[in-house]
Amino acid sequence: MLYVVAAVLFWASAAALFYTYVVYPVILWAMSHWRARPVRKGECEPTVSVIITAYNEERDLAAKLENTLALDYPKEKLEIIVASDCSTDRTDEIARSFAKRGVRLHRQSERLGKTSAQNAAVELARGEIILFSDATTLYEPDVLRKMLPNFADPSVGCVAGRLIYVDPARSSVGHGARSYWSYETFLKERESAILSLIGCSGCLYAVRRSAYVPLRPEACSDFIIATKMVEQGLRAVYEPEAVAIEETNKRSDREFRMRVRVITQTISDLWHHRAMLNPRRSGFYAIELLSHKVFRYLAPAFLITALLASAALAPRSTFYFAIFIGQTLFYFAAFIGFLAERAGWHRRLIALPYYFVLANAAVVAAFNKFLRGERYARWEPIRETRGEPTAALMTARKGGHG
């Protein structure tokens, strides 16, 4: 009886993992070819407000503002707002130094977090389109020219651009993050082609001002904004030719903290909008949410169950013994990756299992925080200490990294 139970648990977990990482991407690939819903692009040159949310960004803000002011777009139609969430360094001073060039500073009266700062800045914005950005992200000059034609389609409420991660340090975490992002980009492209994105890159997405609704302070704004569009009968779409460049984390502890924060916020958003997980209400969008997020966040439970079940079955079956050994070797490789990072030894072969385990460990930590009622509203920028913070990004932009 115990053998049967263990076998059922193993195959159920294996099937769930296979669906999450293989079957769902194949479904998206097929549907994006057979049931694509193209965006009807057209001439579109509306007024645009660029909102740069910042907390203690003195290291990067000046370069970011120069980059934004250099965008290929009529200056009379471009507004730039720095939303400072009670910064305690020179962030506000730097923003004010650009006032003669049209940059506006909005300083929160109380530190309430990134999403609250965005909400407040949108209230002040005059543009028909709101473009959200981070202080550490650099844009290609034509980013608006690539994004805005999508808004000629009245069904489009939000447009997300393409984020390219660069890893000048060639770290294990950086390589893992870039590989993970390549997989995510594949899913984004297909989900956008079929119906709608389920989330955007927080450093590069634009929203119709008329469709923006104030978000909960604890919300992960770049995730839930897509759901807010779908609730209004609109869609969020992906524009791969609108490019932003950002540097990856090179340390696992920083990457882990960032992922825990984002996942905790996303789980909270899914819970508050759980009605959208019902296909009878939101159709295929519910399938996207369930497959891309819910099953992904349940993956650690499936992985642990598969490991324990195969361990229980291994003494009585050569097949399950081999499966158990394969899993053990995979996790051992991840552990070697952990030790190698500590020693400053970077190898791509072990970077992927290491990052996979790190990402799933972050899910476990995030679930724990969510169940204990912990929420993130305020945020602390996770930055590496460098003398020239944007040098690598500028080099990558000029070199055309893709």
Q: What confidence category does residue 396 fall into, taking pLDDT thresholds of 50, 70 and 90?
A: very low
Q: Coil, strand, or helix at residue 104? A: strand
pLDDT band at 387 (very low <50, low <70, confident <90, very high): very low
Q: Tell me the pLDDT tens digit for each residue of 43-80.
A: 999 999 999 999 999 999 999 999 999 999 999 999 99
**Amino acid 189: pLDDT:** 95
- Whether residue 170 is contained in a domain is answered as yes
Task: Give residue 243's Cα distance to chain centre.
Answer: 15
Please choose, from the candidates 57, 158, 71, 143, the residue with its C-alpha nearest in 3D space to the C-alpha of residue 105. Answer: 57
Query: Per-residue pLDDT for 28 more than 90?
Result: yes
Per-residue pLDDT at 382: 56
pLDDT category, 287, cuts 50, 70, 90?
very high
Q: The tokens 């019902």 sit on which residue?
A: 278
Mean pLDDT over 135-154 rounds to 95
Identify whether 134 is part of a domain. Answer: yes
> Does 303 map to a domain?
no
Per-residue pLDDT band for 165 (boundaries 50, 70, 90) equals confident
pLDDT at 378: 61
In a domain, 362, yes or no: no
Share in percent of the chain as helix, strand, coil (round to 5): 60, 15, 30
Does residue 272 sit within a domain? no
Q: In this predicted structure, what is the pLDDT of residue 226?
A: 97
In a domain, 113, yes or no: yes
Task: Give the pLDDT confidence score for residue 340 in this predicted structure.
Answer: 82
241-258 pLDDT per residue, tens: 999 988 766 677 888 888
What is the chain's mean pLDDT, rounded?
89
Owning domain of residue 64: 48-249
The answer as to whether 88 is a domain residue is: yes
**Per-residue pLDDT reduced to its tens digit, 312-332:** 999 999 999 999 999 999 999
| Main-chain dihedrals φ then ψ at residue 148, nearest 5 degrees | -65, -35
Contact 374, 148 (CB under 8 A): no
Domain count along the chain: 1
Residue 178 has a pLDDT of 73
What CATH number does the domain containing 66 carry?
A: 3.90.550.10
